[in-house]
Amino acid sequence: MVLSDRMAATPATRARALTLRAVSKSYVPGQLAVERIDLDVRPGEFVSFLGPSGSGKTTTLMMIAGFEQSSSGVISVDGREIDAVAPYDRNIGMVFQNYALFPHMSVAQNVGFPLRMRKVAGGEAKRRITDALAMVGLADFAARFPAELSGGQQQRVALARALVFEPDLVLLDEPLGALDKTLRERMQMELKRIHRELGVTMIYVTHDQTEAMAMSDRIAVFNRGRIEQIGTPGEIYFAPRTRFVASFVGDSNLFEGRCGTQGIVEVEDFGELATGRADLSAGSTVNLLVRPETIRLRRDGVSPWPTTSTITVEEMVNYGDSYLLVGKRSGREIRVRVPSIDMPELRRGAECGIEWNPARVHVIAAERPTS
């Protein structure tokens, strides 16, 4: 599946930057669905909007596309304000979850529809349609109709249609949500390949954290109409800035405690946790994150790490390649991810020793002690 030289090279030279400044949206007076979003997307970047339902991610995407009008703020593409520009004049490609294909049109006609609206000449339009269908692996499907295609094939047609007119940006609103797991993973790889080869700026909305982690250059995590954090997948996962990001992205063990000296944090009903952070102020309250996969089951002998404890096993969930152990200590739930190859024989109610490296304990937020 090779792109023509023209299709592979031209869009990359037109990759655009997207800027949002203090963008808000209100449907009801006094209630903001999106509140003062600030965002800078670099040319050619793949950025995912990740968050739960109702967090504002799709509303923000619709404002960029022009299908929703912002209540305040400025949206710009390469420094050109587009808030007052009609959707059809923004030169933005859009891929919807439900595909939105015309059932009475062939695949070629669906893909060519944006070109017809832009009055692209016949020979040029045909060449672009051929290139776009080849890019998504549907060169032999031009004469078929949407009802004759699988869900994955329909999604490829929708993607080709969004790219055929060489847009400045491509917006994707949960485009893989209706596909099964295997096909969804295959389409993730296809989207990344197309993004890499075209170099076009893409904004991708999803509530699936695994999808966002696998595909994105950066992720913007939405919560209650705001962006809580934007960063690389590694930054979002290993260095979340808030408790919400830590709990929403990946599995987590979250603790709140009071700092002592030399990075030791006292957690009520648990004990002391070493963080390896000598810069924490004694007496301050901190939130700590320990990812389940960074905790090990303790073996016989002396632990090389100062952070050890025990849990009572309550649940064991088999994921094939790993087990999730859910245990408790003093009423507090502790989650441990264990590779299947290292999983010992355990039963519910068993006492189990655990340990982890203090360097893998992440301080999410710190507060000054209240007087």
Has residue 238 been placed in a domain?
yes
Residues 263 and 236 in one domain: no
351/174 Cα distance (integer angstroms): 43
Residues 52 and 70 in one domain: yes
Residues 191 and 45 in one domain: yes
Has residue 157 been placed in a domain?
no
Has residue 266 been placed in a domain?
yes
Instruction: Please compute the mean of the pLDDT values over residues 105-132 and round it to a whole number.
Output: 93
Residues 178 and 86 in one domain: yes
Residues 291 and 230 in one domain: no
Q: How many domains does the chain have?
A: 2
Does residue 2 carry a pLDDT above 60? no
351/311 Cα distance (integer angstroms): 6
Residue 311 sits in a domain whose CATH number is: 2.40.50.140
Residues 230 and 277 in one domain: no
Has residue 119 been placed in a domain?
no
Owning domain of residue 349: 251-367
Has residue 99 been placed in a domain?
no
Residues 209 and 272 in one domain: no
Residues 257 and 341 in one domain: yes
pLDDT digits (tens, 9 = 90+) for 333-359: 999 999 999 888 889 999 988 988 888
Question: What is the 3-class SS of the chain, one letter each residue?
Answer: CCCCHHHHHHHHHCCCCEEEEEEEEEEECCEEEEEEEEEEECCCCEEEEECCCCCCHHHHHHHHHCCCCCCEEEEEECCEECCCCCHHHCCEEEECCCCCCCCCCCHHHHHHHHHHHCCCCHHHHHHHHHHHHHHCCCHHHCCCCHHHCCHHHHHHHHHHHHHCCCCCEEEEECCCCCCCHHHHHHHHHHHHHHHHHHCCEEEEEECCHHHHHHHCCEEEEEECCEEEEEECHHHHHHCCCCHHHHHHCCCCEEEEEEECCCCEEEECCCEEEECCCCCCCCCCEEEEEECHHHEEECCCCCCCCCEEEEEEEEEEEECCCEEEEEEEECCEEEEEEEEHHHCCCCCCCCEEEEEECHHHCEEEEEECCCC
Q: Please give the biggest Cα pair distance in the chain.
A: 77
Does residue 324 carry a pLDDT above 70? yes
pTM above 0.75, yes or no: yes
Residues 175 and 197 in one domain: yes
Q: Residue 183: what pLDDT?
A: 83
pLDDT digits (tens, 9 = 90+) for 245-281: 999 999 999 988 888 888 888 888 777 787 878 788 8
Residues 183 and 318 in one domain: no
